[in-house]
Structure 1
Amino acid sequence: MQQSSPLYEHLAIEIPKKDAVCHFHTHAASHIPEESKRELQTKVKEIGKNRDMFHLYNNIRDRKLHLDCFINGKEECYVIGKQMDMENGLIGI
């Protein structure tokens, strides 16, 4: 994540302030080293302090589907699904 953090911040800056930043990823996170996952979560929180942002993901903390919302600097986190298996994909909770 060390090399991609500046790019990530740059992309967030390029999006007009009137629009929310939406960051979506799923299985790719299972290939990210633990330290980089923590760095990504820290960067998401930093960006969310200054603008509206939605982070939809799994395979960072667990296999559940998470939605972290940052609206007006306030963070709200939800678990919105769980992964049963690779054949059945994600199902809602």
Structure 2
Amino acid sequence: MEYTKLLKAKGFNLNSYPEGKFWEMIVTDNEDKKQHICDVFGADIELFDSNITDIDTLILQCAEDFTKCIFYYDCNPFDMESNTFMNCVKNI
């Protein structure tokens, strides 16, 4: 699958900043989605109870050319290789 189509299908938006254009998915209010994305990306998160994560904002981001891929949660950015990032995105 072409990366542009994949990102759009998964709910990413192409946003413009002075530094360039970036594909982004920002999750702030959906605890189930945050939990699922963290599971897919292999993140070790703490749960207060069975339904609530301790994450305010979760961000998936890559540059317009699909480089500079970042998985960000709980103030922790994790740089990822493009292929690894896209394989995880396929599973969310």
Under a length normalisation based on structure 1, what TM-score does the superposition of the two structures give?
0.28
Please state which structure has a larger fraction of its residues in helix. 1
Q: Which has the larger radius of gyration?
A: 1
Under a length normalisation based on structure 2, what TM-score does the superposition of the two structures give?
0.28
